Amino acid sequence: MDLSIIELIKTVILGIVEGLTEWLPISSTGHMILVDEFIRLDVSKAFMDMFLVVIQLGAILAVVVLNFERLNPFSSWKSRSEKHATFQLWYKVIFACIPAGVIGLLFNKYMEEHFMTAPVVTTTLIFYGIMFIVVENYNKHRYPRVTELDRLDYKTAFIIGLFQVLSLVPGTSRSGATILGGILFGASRYVAAEFTFFLAIPVMFGASFLKMVKFGWHYTGAEVLIMIVGMATAFLVSIMSIKFLLHYIKSNDFKAFGWYRIVLGIIVLVYLFFVGDPTK
């Protein structure tokens, strides 16, 4: 394929959407499906399916860069106890990734074949939008048990990991599901969001690697450029998105994201009624 400026602009737009929606609890998959309906890249379906997952590497690199010192257990700047705490954080992250890793490997193909549809995305957008509002109302007069990430125990970490399994259904939002789980089981919004970011690192690297292996290692120059531009854009936008969310939740709850999901879901329903399912 010949790569035109138009195709690069489309790639940048997809990178912006990925960078914004990967970390905000509004479902990156749902948004990417919708954007792809209006902004279609001139690539094969196999490449596009792979690209929509691999572009997440740009987003996850933003987490690594912003938290490199904090995530590095070998840092010479850290004391022995700080290095130990960093290793403990990684153990909790890996432990919490087990449910999604196992279920994902077993049912990922089935999910892609049967759940990657606009009606499913619409349903999950609205359902979890309602859940955010319900959970925030329920949580209004409760005080979080875990207000610092270092105090997050293995049991709560694993429970958050179980909620991550829900995100295998498109439209759920991986960050949305895990943040909801964290809040419900005693973590503050800030701790739930932070752990969600770190939980994404092994999950997204693993998912991207599997997608690239499935696609194969034969890329045209245009395809390589699309991947680089998409990931670079997602990386830059993700840095701003992560900083915004962490600042926002210091003094706000997640109800606004819940209402946004509900409104978006209704818009998609109306679109489906008049146009039909774009994923078919």
pLDDT (tens digit per residue) in 31-66: 877 787 778 888 888 898 889 888 999 999 999 999
Which is nearest to 246 in space by CA: 177, 162, 175? Answer: 175
| DSSP secondary structure letter of residue 146 | B
**pLDDT on residue 276:** 66
Binning pLDDT at 50, 70 and 90, where does residue 1 land? low
Complete DSSP assignment for 81-115: HHHHHHHHHHHHHHHHHHHHHHHHHHHHHHHHHHH
Q: How many helices (H) and strands (E) does the chain have?
A: 12, 0
pLDDT at 203 over 90: no
**pLDDT on residue 73:** 94
- Could you tell me the pTM of the whole model? 0.88
Q: Which residue has the tokens 């390589």?
A: 224
Q: Is residue 55 classed as helix, strand or coil in its secondary structure?
A: coil
Average pLDDT (183-196) is 94
pLDDT at 74 over 80: yes
CB-CB contact of 54 with 13 (8 Å): no
Complete DSSP assignment for 172-192: S-HHHHHHHHHHHTTB-HHHH
d(CA 103, CA 125): 22
d(CA 59, CA 240): 11
CB-CB contact of 39 with 10 (8 Å): yes
Q: What is the token pair recorded at 117?
A: 């549809």
